[in-house]
């Protein structure tokens, strides 16, 4: 988890800030500080730690409800990468809450919304659904 925070810190000025400024040109310096804190919290374990304002700044939860696959490209990429990384380990250390959150995020997904790695994402989702079903029954 600390390595994930280090990645956020290492990429912040050169990669993340320009992307955030392009997506949210009206963002203030305070918004960017909150976004960095938000990303570091996500690196520690999940969006449940985020205040609603920080979720909105990152585009993770627009007003009116949680985001879903196909609504925000950056969110799609982040969720797809997380899903694929967890799938490589066959969801061994997956918490029930994170599994449920991923399934909820991708509930309406089709191949076009899965991005460039659509086959991998759809395969990982099928495996996640199977794992979650087994855990509920077991």
DSSP code, position 61: S
Instruction: Give exposure, 25-56, as e/b (b: 16+ Cβ within 10 Å).
Output: eeeeeebbebbbebbbbbbeeebeebeeebbb
C-alpha 29/C-alpha 34 separation (Å) is 9
Per-residue pLDDT of the chain (138 residues; tens, 9 = 90+): 456 667 777 788 888 888 888 888 888 888 888 888 777 777 665 444 444 444 444 444 444 456 677 777 777 778 888 888 889 889 888 888 888 888 988 887 764 555 667 888 899 999 999 999 998 887
Phi, psi of 56 (to 5 degrees): -70, -45
Q: Is the pTM of this model over 0.85?
A: no
For residues 50 and 106, give the distance between their C-alpha atoms in angstroms, rounded to a whole number.
20
Structure tokens at 37: 């804190």
**In the chain, domain spans:** 2-58, 73-137
Q: Do 61 and 53 meet the contact criterion of CB atoms below 8 Å apart?
A: no
């Amino acid at each position: 988890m600390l390595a994930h925070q280090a990645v956020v810190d290492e990429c912040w000025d050169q990669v993340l800030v320009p992307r955030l400024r392009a997506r949210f040109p009206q963002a203030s310096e305070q918004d960017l500080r909150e976004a960095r804190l938000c990303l570091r919290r996500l690196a520690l374990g999940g969006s449940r730690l985020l205040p609603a304002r920080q979720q909105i700044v990152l585009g993770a939860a627009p007003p009116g409800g949680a985001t879903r696959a196909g609504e925000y490209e950056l969110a799609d990429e982040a969720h797809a990468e997380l899903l694929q990384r967890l799938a490589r380990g066959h969801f061994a250390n997956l918490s029930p809450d994170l599994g449920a959150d991923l399934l909820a995020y991708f509930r309406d997904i089709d191949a076009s919304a899965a991005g460039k790695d659509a086959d991998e994402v759809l395969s990982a989702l099928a495996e996640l659904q199977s794992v979650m079903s087994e855990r509920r029954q077991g």
